[in-house]
Chains A and B, each alone.
Chain A
Amino acid sequence: MSEHSTYTPGSGLEKWLDERLPIIRFSKEHLMDFPTPKNLNYWWTFGAILVMCLGIQIVTGVILAMHYTPNIGMAFDSVEHIRRDVNGGRMIQSFHAVGASMFFAAVYIHIFRGMYFGSYKAPREILWILGVLIFVLMMATAFMGYVLPWGQMSGWAATVITNIFAAIPVIGTPLLELLRGGFSVGNPTLNRFFSLHYLLPFVIAAVVALHIWALHVPGNNNPIGVDVKDSRDTLPFHPYYTMKDAFGMVLFLIPFVWFAFFAPDILGHPDNYIQFDSQVTPAHIVPEWYFLPFYAILRAIDFNLLFINSKLLGVMFFIGSIVILFLLPWLDTAKVRSGSFRPMFKWFYWLFVINFIGLTYLGAQPAEGIYVLLSKVCTAYYFIHFVVILPVVSCIEKPRPLPTSISESVLAKSHA
């Protein structure tokens, strides 16, 4: 899909440049003329929205790093200093903190869009895998960023999450001490988390470039999941989708700035405005909302299985819940991509979404009473969806007839 360039260098200078570094040709092919299915809906604007989110995090983050001090004696105060004293610091800090939540909100929508429309299926498996990799990197980055303000939630999140590595047999404890740089979470931990929190967004940006490269080889999937057949099925990316994406970004920025301006702390925890104390764990610790489903899975496993103790088993399920996403292209073997044409899959898809929201809710509840049981049920269903339901549904389901082409389906809609 790269031989569609209409670029002819206009001036002598452009021709000279084109023969040495064809950057204008490349940009025109991939950012302007790129043939894009003409039926993409607003769920497809989240790719561009996510690029914007990454940009906002990097710009605000670089600025915050100019005022932040990664030392356990000063970190907490330096964040307060940013919020109170630095010119405009209150807004820059809240855009960065709210930005993390909005970034995850957008990425969850982006992932669930891909799941519904079968965007992970051949020939887009690598595209999907790179996407899951970005998600993992985002989680690592967000976690380390959350530690930096050095409040109670920061310090205890660092303690609990680094402790996950201690569950690994034999090398667990040495690995834990290597990660923390001590026997407990302390100054070396904070300092290295700051260093890595600054590094990882640029790694994410590099994987995003690969993700877009992998997208531009087969081209976009689309809501009916039928391949592009000829030029009547597509529109050039610019101006059609640059404008649609820009409009999507503006809509997305409305709740974003509402949070940043009017409720910058509503997504956080009051406990994080108390400086970290390694001797007192807050009565009820919960991670940021975007980690809750996976946290619920980690916590649901409170029993031993054969020779595997509950701690290691919980960690295995926790890691497995993310690793299984990498395998999704091979678990759902149905040839039809779009959920719109899969009567059975559609139901199970929405059940999975409800179950995932359920896990989010349960992750925020105390580990007692009925919540313990419900967490186990929802955790089991999460895995059953991938390992049992998807392969079985792919075999027994009879999909509805597909439109012959994108352009036919668009025209049929406008006549109806």
Chain B
Amino acid sequence: MATEAQHSTTRRDFLFVATGAVAGVGAAATIWPLINQMNPDASTLAVASVEFNLNGIESGQSVTILWRGLPVFVRNRTDKEVEEAKAVPMAELRDPETDEQRTKKGHENWLIMIANCTHLGCIPTGESGEFDGWSCPCHGSQFDTAGRVRKGPAPTNLVVPPYEFISDTLVRIG
């Protein structure tokens, strides 16, 4: 035993490192649930999709519905607004997306998007701003009739959530 202790790596060193490693893993495993409790809970995750009936929303009218606690704009665009959106050259856009990419084929008049500004989350005001779309009261971002950012600090277009048309008048978001 006495000679063993003179080796550069002893059994004691090994035990020391191994104990430290186990303690480290244990500490991380203890801390993670203490942080993870802050993540969205089961009741929040449970309301992941909603169905919404488009009946009664006239051309030129918007409604705001809630999806996962987030407000969602559902707008029945006028023909003029759709034409305006389609006429915009891609070169003018900060986050280039065509109007077709932001709507569903055969339902081009319906624009469905999360209402929070992509800058810091305020709700833009509809039918306002220089581009006939939305303008954000908080920091001055402006969006066109397809909800694409045209001016101000917002980095990207208003977000189109995943959705599908179940029938001509019923959509499921999420």
Measured CB to CB, the residues of A under 8 A from B are 156, 159-164, 177-184, 186, 188, 192, 278-285, 299, 301-302, 304, 309-312, 314, 366-368, 372
The reply to whether the CB of B169 lies closer than 8 angstroms to some CB of chain A is: no
Contact with A along B18-59 (1 / 0, CB 8 A): 000000000000000001001111001000000000000000
Which A residues are CB-close (under 8 A) to B35? 178
Return A197 CB to nearest CB of chain B, in Å.
Answer: 15
Interface residues of B (CB under 8 A from A): 35, 38-41, 44, 64, 66, 68-71, 94, 115-116, 118-125, 136-140, 152-156
Q: CB distance B120 to A281 under 8 Å?
A: no
A177 touches B39 (CB 8 A): yes
Please determine whether B138 and A160 come into contact, CB atoms closer than 8 angstroms.
yes
Bound complex: CA of A230 vs CA of B69, how far in Å?
66
* CA–CA, A203 and B153, complex, Å: 35
Contact partners of B39 in chain A: CB under 8 A: 177-178, 181
Instruction: Tell which of A192, A280, A366 touches B38, judged by Cβ atoms closer than 8 Å.
Output: A192
Interchain CA distance A372-B137 in the complex, whole Å? 14
Q: A281-B123, A301-B153, A311-B154 are in contact. Are A182 and B44 (CB under 8 A)?
A: yes
Shortest A120–chain B CB gap in Å is 32
Question: Which chain B residue has the least Cβ–Cβ distance from A181?
Answer: B38
For A301, list chain B residues within 8 Å (CB).
153
B38, B71, B118, B136: the one within 8 Å of A279 (CB): B71
With most chain A CB atoms within 10 A of its CB, the pick from B94, B138, B152, B156 is B138
Contact A279 B140 (CB under 8 A): no
16 pairs, CB–CB < 8 Å, chain A vs chain B? A156-B138, A159-B120, A159-B121, A161-B120, A179-B38, A184-B69, A184-B70, A188-B44, A278-B71, A280-B123, A281-B136, A281-B138, A284-B137, A299-B139, A302-B153, A310-B153
Grouping DSSP codes into helix (H, G, I), strand (E, B) and loop, the B interface class, with mixed when no group exceeds half, is loop
> B118 near A181 (CB under 8 angstroms)?
no
Compute how far the CA of A87 lies from the CA of B93 in the bound complex, rounded to whole angstroms.
Answer: 58
Is the Cβ of A281 less than 8 Å from the Cβ of B122? yes
Selected from A183, A311, A367, the residue in CB contact (under 8 A) with B118 is A311
Min distance, Cβ B152 to any Cβ of chain A, angstroms:
5
CB B165 to nearest CB in A, in angstroms, measures 23
Cα–Cα, bound, A334→B8 (Å) = 52
Q: How far is the CB of B42 from chain A (nearest CB, A)?
A: 12
Shortest 10 CB-CB distances between A and B: which pairs? A367-B140, A309-B155, A184-B69, A302-B153, A163-B121, A163-B120, A160-B120, A281-B123, A281-B122, A183-B68
Residues of B with C-beta under 8 A to A192? 38
Q: Is the CB of B41 within 8 A of A282?
A: no
Taking CB atoms, residues of chain B closer than 8 Å to A181 are 38-41, 44
Chain B residues within an 8 Å CB radius of A367? 138-140, 152
A183→B40 contact, CB < 8 A: yes
A80 to chain B, nearest CB (A): 25
**CA gap between A310 and B156 in the complex, in Å:** 10
**Closest CB in chain A relative to B58 CB, distance in Å:** 20
Asked if A302 and B140 make an inter-chain contact with CB atoms under 8 angstroms apart, the answer reads: yes
Specify the chain B residue showing the minimal Cβ separation from A309. Answer: B155
Nearest CB of B to A296, in Å: 11
Residue contact A178 to B119, C-beta cutoff 8 Å: no
| Complex CA–CA separation, A247 to B136 (angstroms) | 48
The one of A162, A186, A284 in contact with B69, judged by C-beta atoms closer than 8 angstroms, is A186
Closest to B136 in A: A281
Q: Which of B66, B116, B137 contacts A282 (CB 8 A)?
A: B137
Q: How far is the CB of A302 from chain B (nearest CB, A)?
A: 4
Which residues of chain A are within 8 angstroms of B40 by Cβ–Cβ distance?
Answer: 177, 180-183, 188
Which A residues are CB-close (under 8 A) to B154? 310-311
Contact A178 B38 (CB under 8 A): yes
Query: Once the chains bind, are A278 and B69 in contact (CB under 8 Å)?
Result: yes
Q: State in angstroms the CA–CA spacing of A278 and B70 once bound together.
A: 8
